[in-house]
Chain A
Amino acid sequence: MARGRYRVVHYLNQFFAQIGGEEKAGIPPQVKEGAVGPGIPLQQALGDEGEIVATVICGDNYFGENIETAAEAVVELVAPHRPDVFVAGPAFNAGRYGIACGAACTAVRKRLGVPVVTAMYEENPGLELYRKEVFVIPAPRSVQGMKETIPKLAGFVRKLGLGQPIGLPQADGYLPRGIRVNAFVERTGAQRAVDMLLAKLKGEAFQTEYAMPTFERIPPSPAIKELSAATIALVTTGGIVPRGNPDRIEAASASKFAAYSIAGTDDLTADAYQTCHGGYDPVYANEDPDRVLPLDAARALERDGIIGHLHEEYYVTVGNATSVANAQKFGKAIAERLVAAGVDGVILTST
């Protein structure tokens, strides 16, 4: 029995859908039957195997001003067509369009579980925002690149439509998403290291297996003006918890943080507290937990009026092997709670 054609839904902005230019950038999400605009050469490239059953269109400004609701509306328009693949763009270097493509793809993938792909230029702001969420085929900067991009995009749509496994970026023609995946390879790490060093010494081309990451920079908060009126909180990634680790914070790769009351406590002692952090010699912290969470010092400073008030809870997690993504999540959540509680400043200790 011949396999039916896989179903594709395509996403375009108002311009590529041939509705209009900037003056039509505010149009809300809508759907048309079959292929539209660049969808037509895309359909040709897909041949008999895949069918673009519908095209969802939205104005770039409408999307940009209502990302969440627009993405949701796109999902609602896509769903009835039961696609096997959702493809957006190509967006080239159009920033609002690239963001809309990324957001639409992410929403469709998450809400409908449909495989997604888009295409845009490497510097399109949409790439930075959505590169981890969706497959992105590299496209040239300008619309002149449509002719070379369509076959690449079609090739990837085809792989998704036929349920073929997606391999490494270089092999399958998509931009690396920064997702690290383990695999067993031919040569040992030691062999690969010596190979790489010899290539480097000979001036031959080599490919590093891990490019140095960059970390986000946060603008500094303004200084505290009146310390003697300020509320200061203590936070630690050093794993200081009440004895018995009641919330079972993990020794490594923490999946949570916790808050514990220090109301009426002047000093952290070995009988009441311990460390649960698996990444350092625990002996000193277990003898005197103040060595990691300086409660005794903070309380003395409160008593002497140097700080206005020591916040009645401290926050703790374990920074051992804990992923940056989780650390960011915890940090945001802790910050929200501290701000809501009127805290002005934080002493954060790490081991």
Chain B
Amino acid sequence: MAAIVPISMTVGANRIVPAVAIPHPLGNPALPERDERELRLRLVKKGLRALQTDVEKQTVFDG
């Protein structure tokens, strides 16, 4: 889970979830606390979905 997807692609990661920003990949300080925690939960769930998905090649889990 990282913000700069092209770098994750270049270094060969197979399951990539785009994150928010470099200093806070799993957070957004501009949001109220509760919204930020929900955002984090959503992103981690996306990560878990990626772990449950078979992939043949490098895949970005965006949706």
**What residues of A have a CB within 8 angstroms of the CB of B2 in the complex?**
349-351
- Interface centre among B26, B45, B54, by most A CB within 10 Å? B26
How many Å from the CB of A280 to the closest CB on chain B?
Answer: 4
Please give, as numbers and ranges, the residues of chain B lying within 8 Å of A215 by CB-CB distance. 10-12
- For A306, the closest partner residue in chain B by CB is B48
- Cβ–Cβ contact A238 & B48, under 8 A: no
**Nearest CB in chain B: distance from A13 CB, A:** 35
Assess whether A232 is interfacial by the CB under 8 Å rule.
Answer: yes
Give A293 Cβ to nearest chain B Cβ, in Å: 8
Neighbouring A residues of B1 by C-beta, 8 Å? 347-350
* Contact yes or no, B51 A280, CB < 8 A: no
User: Which of A223, A281, A350 has a CB less than 8 Å from the CB of B51?
Assistant: A223
Segment touching B, from A2-10, A45-53, A76-84, A294-302 = A294-302
- When each residue 224-241 of chain A gets 1 if its CB lies under 8 Å from chain B and 0 otherwise, what string results? 110100101000001000
Q: Is A288 an interface residue (CB 8 A)?
A: yes
Is the beta-carbon distance between B40 and A345 smaller than 8 angstroms? no
Q: What is the total of A-B residue contacts with beta carbons within 8 Å?
A: 104
Which residue of B is nearest A279, CB measured? B22
B41→A300 contact, CB < 8 A: yes
What separation, in Å, do the CA atoms of A221 and B59 have in the docked complex?
A: 12
Which one of B1, B43, B51 has the greatest number of beta carbons of chain A within 10 Å?
B51
Bound complex: CA A300 to CA B26 (Å) = 15
Contact of B52 among A223, A290, A294, A301 (CB under 8 A): A223
Interface string of B6-19 (1 = CB under 8 A from A): 00101110110001
Could you tell me the distance between the alpha carbons of A216 and B10 in the complex, rounded to whole angstroms? Answer: 9
Report A245-298 residues with CB < 8 Å from chain B CB: 280-285, 287-288, 290-294, 296-298
The 3 closest A-B pairs by CB, nearest first: A291-B27, A350-B2, A220-B14
Further contacts, 5 of them, CB under 8 A, given A227-B51, A281-B23: A216-B12, A221-B14, A291-B27, A345-B51, A349-B26
For this complex, 10 residue pairs linking A to B, each with C-beta atoms less than 8 Å apart, are A216-B12, A218-B14, A225-B52, A284-B27, A296-B37, A297-B37, A300-B41, A347-B47, A349-B19, A351-B23
Which residues of chain A have a CB within 8 Å of any CB of chain B?
Answer: 215-218, 220-225, 227, 230, 232, 238, 280-285, 287-288, 290-294, 296-298, 300-301, 306-307, 324, 345, 347-351
